[in-house]
Chains A and B, each alone.
Chain A
Amino acid sequence: MKLAYWMYAGPAHIGTLRVASSFKNVHAIMHAPLGDDYFNVMRSMLERERDFTPVTASIVDRHVLARGSQEKVVDNISRKDKQERPNLIVLTPTCTSSILQEDLQNFVERASTISESDIILADVNHYRVNELQAADRTLEQVVRYYLDKARRQGNLNTSLTEKPSANIIGIFTLGFHNQHDCRELKRLLKDLGIEINQVIPEGGFVDNLHKLPKAWFNLVPYRETGLMTAKYLEKEFGMSYISTTPMGIVDIANCIRQIQERINIWYPTLLKKKINYEPYIDEQTKYISQAAWFSRSIDCQNLTGKKAVVFGDATHAASITKILTCEMGIRVSCAGTYCKHDEEWFKEQVQNFCDEILVTDDHTEVGDMIARVEPSAIFGTQMERHIGKRLDIPCGVISSPVHIQNFTLGYRPFLGYEGTNQVADLVYNSFTLGMEDHLLEIFGGHDTKEVITKSLSTDTDLTWTSESQLELNKIPGFVRGKIKRNTEKFARQNGITEITAETMYAAKEALNA
Chain B
Amino acid sequence: MSIKISETLTFECETGNYHTFCPISCVAWLYQKIEDSFFLVVGTKTCGYFLQNALGVMIFAEPRYAMAELEEGDISAQLNDYRELKRLCLQIKKDRNPSVIIWIGTCTTEIIKMDLEGMAPKLENEIEIPIVVARANGLDYAFTQGEDTVLAAMAHRCPEQNLLIGKKQEIKDKKGKELFSFRFPETEEKKNIKSKNNLEDKIPLVLFGSLPSTVASQLSLELKRQSIHVSGWLPAQRYTDLPALGNGIYVCGVNPFLSRTATTLMRRRKCKLIGAPFPIGPDGTRAWIEEICCVFGIETQGLKEREQQVWDSLGNYLNLVRGKSVFFMGDNLLEISLARFLIRCGMIVYEIGIPYMDKRYQAAELKFLQNTCKKMCIPMPRIVEKPDNYNQIQRMRELQPDLAITGMAHANPLEARGINTKWSVEFTFAQIHGFTNAKDVLELVTRPLRRNNNLENLGWTNLVK
Point out residues on A near B: beta carbons under 8 Å: 1-7, 10-11, 13-14, 32-38, 40-42, 44-45, 48-53, 56-57, 59-62, 65, 76, 83, 94-96, 99-100, 126-128, 130, 383, 386, 389, 403
Contact = CB atoms under 8 A, between A and B. Distances in A.
B135 to A, nearest CB: 12
Contacts of A2: 67-69, 71
Contact of B67 (A4, A13, A37, A51): A4
A51 B42 CA distance: 34
B139 A65 contact: yes
A61 B22 contact: no
Interface string B387-425: 000100100000000000001111111001000000000
Contacts of B54: 38, 41
B409 A6 contact: no
Contacts of A41: 19, 53-54, 407-409
A425 B423 CA distance: 36
A1 B16 contact: no
Contacts of A62: 139-140
Contact of B138 (A14, A34, A128): A34
Nearest to A35: B22
B63 A5 contact: yes
A197 B5 CA distance: 53
A95 B45 contact: yes
A512 B413 CA distance: 61
Contacts of B24: 35
B142 A7 contact: no
A56 B67 contact: no
Interface residues of B, number: 62
A41 B23 CA distance: 16
Contacts of B411: 44
Nearest to B142: A34
B306 to A, nearest CB: 39
Question: 3 tightest A-B contacts by CB?
Answer: A35-B22, A33-B138, A40-B409
Interface string B49-70: 1101110100110010011111
15 contacts: A1-B87, A2-B67, A3-B68, A5-B66, A6-B52, A34-B142, A35-B20, A35-B23, A41-B409, A44-B410, A45-B408, A50-B416, A51-B464, A95-B108, A386-B60
B409 A44 contact: yes
A340 to B, nearest CB: 14
Given A34-B16, A34-B138, A50-B416, 7 more contacts: A1-B70, A3-B88, A33-B138, A34-B142, A45-B412, A59-B16, A76-B17
Contacts of A61: 16, 139-140
Given A36-B22, A38-B54, A128-B72, A100 B111 contact: yes
Contacts of B48: 4, 6-7
A126 B69 contact: no
Contacts of B112: 99
Nearest to A43: B409
B308 interface: no
B45 A94 contact: no
A57 B19 CA distance: 9
B400 to A, nearest CB: 17
Given A50-B413, A83-B390, A34 B20 contact: yes
Contacts of B84: 1
Given A2-B68, A50-B464, A37 B409 contact: yes
Contact of A3 (B79, B91, B390): B91
A63 to B, nearest CB: 10
A14 B137 CA distance: 20
Interface string B5-36: 00000000000110111111000000000000
B142 A51 contact: no
A126 B44 contact: yes
A338 B393 CA distance: 40
A57 B390 CA distance: 12
B53 A38 contact: yes
Given A11-B49, A65-B110, A1 B137 contact: no
Interface in B70-119: 70-72, 74-75, 79, 84-85, 87-88, 91-92, 107-108, 110-112
B46 interface: yes
Q: Which of B67, B79, B137, B139 has the most CB of A within 10 A?
A: B139
B127 interface: no
B53 A42 contact: yes
Contacts of B79: 1
Contacts of A35: 20-24, 50, 138, 142-143
B413 A52 contact: yes
B377 interface: no
B194 to A, nearest CB: 49
Contacts of A383: 60
A56 B110 contact: no
Nearest to A130: B45
A65 B138 contact: no
B406 to A, nearest CB: 11
A14 B69 CA distance: 17
B430 interface: no
